[in-house]
Amino acid sequence: MIATVESCTAGLIAGAITDVPGSSAIFDRGFVTYTNAAKVEMLDVTPATLDAHGAVSEHVAREMAQGALSKSNAQIAVSVTGIAGPGGSEFKPEGRVCFGIATATHSFTETQEFGAIGRKRVRAATVDHALDLLVRNVTNF
């Protein structure tokens, strides 16, 4: 079973998975945690992690995925947190997305720089990459 945790995509990954007939056999639930408060309340992301690293960080992506795993019936969780645009900063540019994968035996994070390609394209690229991460990591457990 899969759980998704989404910030910048606001449910698009869960939507892509559940677009496939029969997905109820592999999809448990999705969390949309757009605000920091939602990340803390729904997933137990620690305020200290948010303060130290910001919402768009691999640290937060890891805690998001681990939180989803502990609050669901899933065996694998994928999380995304990023800056779809427009905007960004020198330190966290538009198009930066942090991904997390968590299972009972391992967790993994990475950051992708999609660039300032526009909000819609960043979100679409994020969905594609998250689905690819799920496929690659399902075989790890």
Percent of all residues in the chain with a pLDDT value above 70, rounded to a whole number: 99
pLDDT attached to residue 141: 52
Specify burial of residue 56 (Cβ count, 10 A radius: 0-12, 13-18, 19+).
Answer: buried
**For 59-112, how does the pLDDT look when each residue is reduced to its tens digit (9 = 90+)?**
999 999 999 999 999 999 999 999 999 988 888 999 999 999 999 999 999 999
pLDDT attached to residue 49: 98
Single-letter residue type at 130 = A
> Which residues are within 8 A (CB) of 12 and not within 5 positions of it... i.e. 6 or more apart?
6, 123, 124, 126, 127
Please give the class, per CATH, of domain 2-138.
alpha beta
Q: Is 112 helix (H, G, I), strand (E, B) or coil?
A: strand
Single-letter residue type at 14 = A
* Confidence band of 138 (pLDDT split at 50, 70, 90): confident
Tokens representing 51?
A: 């303060």
**For 123-134, how does the pLDDT look when each residue is reduced to its tens digit (9 = 90+)?**
999 999 999 999
Distance CA 138, CA 141 (A): 6
The tokens 């299972």 sit on which residue? 103
